Amino acid sequence: MKSKGTNPITELQRLTVSLRGGSNHQNGCLVINFTGQLDAYSEKQFTTYINEVLASNQLSVVIDLTNIDFIDSCGLGAMVQAAKKCTQSKRSFSVVGNPRVVQTIKLVRLEEFLHLVPDLNTAIGKLSA
């Protein structure tokens, strides 16, 4: 069994039936992990969770969506709100996603606005530099 903090997926909180979230610190960045579906059903809980985590510190943020199975327009809207919140608080941030999430973000041309990067290591390296 891995030690605490090395496998964030096993430490995720249930936000809804279809969405779980958790956070941890890596190299001076706050990494917020999600798994499941980010859609109309889970968007409110996603936003509430992001706001609570952001209020707890001022670190740079990586929103890790690599374990998201599905994201719809409501989920994208929640991501835009999270990005605006980071920008308003003058906080650096990046978003990481799996191919399905990346394709959806690129389809609506939000990759630059959301600071989309190809993987978690790149995001952490970029923000901790």
In angstroms, the CA 5 to CA 19 distance is 20
> Checking phi first, is residue 110 left (phi over 0); if not, alpha (psi -120 to 50) or beta?
alpha
In a domain, 129, yes or no: no
In a domain, 72, yes or no: yes
In a domain, 35, yes or no: yes
Burial of 30: CB neighbours in 10 Å, binned 0-12, 13-18, 19+: buried
Q: Two tokens at 111?
A: 């990759």
Give the model confidence (pLDDT) of 73-120 as tens digits: 999 999 999 999 999 999 999 999 999 999 999 999 999 999 999 999
Task: Look at residue 5 in the predicted model and tell me its pLDDT.
Answer: 47
Give the model confidence (pLDDT) of 45-71 as tens digits: 999 999 999 998 899 999 999 999 999
Residue 4 has pLDDT above 60, yes or no: no
CATH code for the domain of 18: 3.30.750.24
Asked if residues 85 and 50 have their Cβ atoms less than 8 Å apart, the reply is: yes
In a domain, 96, yes or no: yes
* Band of pLDDT at residue 17, cut at 50, 70 and 90: confident
Q: Which residue has the higher pLDDT, 60 or 13?
A: 60
Give the predicted TM-score (pTM) of the model: 0.86
In a domain, 58, yes or no: yes
In a domain, 1, yes or no: no
> How distant, in Å, are the alpha carbons of 64, 85, 107, 129 from that of 50?
12, 9, 24, 23
Task: Look at residue 87 in the predicted model and tell me its pLDDT.
Answer: 93
Q: 114 is in which domain, residue-wise?
A: 9-124
Number of Cβ within 10 Å of residue 84's Cβ equals 11
In a domain, 3, yes or no: no
Number of domains in the chain: 1
Q: Residue 77: which residues within 8 A CB-CB, separation 6 or more?
A: 43
Task: Look at residue 13 in the predicted model and tell me its pLDDT.
Answer: 63
In a domain, 2, yes or no: no
Q: Which residue has the higher pLDDT, 4 or 31?
A: 31
In angstroms, the CA 97 to CA 102 distance is 6
